[in-house]
Amino acid sequence: MATEIQTLDNGPLLVRGPATVKDGAGKAFNLEGKEQFALCRCGESKNKPFCDGSHKAAGFSSKCVAP
């Protein structure tokens, strides 16, 4: 299965499939057993780099459309 990343309108990046997320020092976050997860785009999450839904209260607005 290939990894798929989808931009959600006014929300996070949804990652589906096998993936590794590392911090600035190169240490991997524990994603064991997760087949999908969301990455924060708004910068307001208390659980960065993962989305915790804070974009809703922050009024984050962004729509990415593929050409």
Architecture of the domain delimited by 1-16+34-61 = 3-Layer(aba) Sandwich (3.40)
Are 44 and 54 in contact, with CB atoms under 8 Å apart?
Answer: yes
Q: Count other C-beta atoms under 10 Å from residue 58's C-beta.
A: 12
pLDDT 10s digits, 37-67: 999 999 999 999 999 999 999 999 999 999 9
Planar angle of CA 53, 55, 57, nearest 5 degrees: 90
Q: 16: which 2 tokens?
A: 């589906």
The domain segmentation of the chain, as residue ranges, is 1-16+34-61
Q: What is the pTM of this model?
A: 0.92
Give the mean pLDDT of 12-21: 96
Query: How far is Cα 17 from Cα 34, in angstroms, rounded to an integer?
Result: 9
Give the mean pLDDT of 3-31: 97
Strand bridging mode 13-16 / 36-39: antiparallel
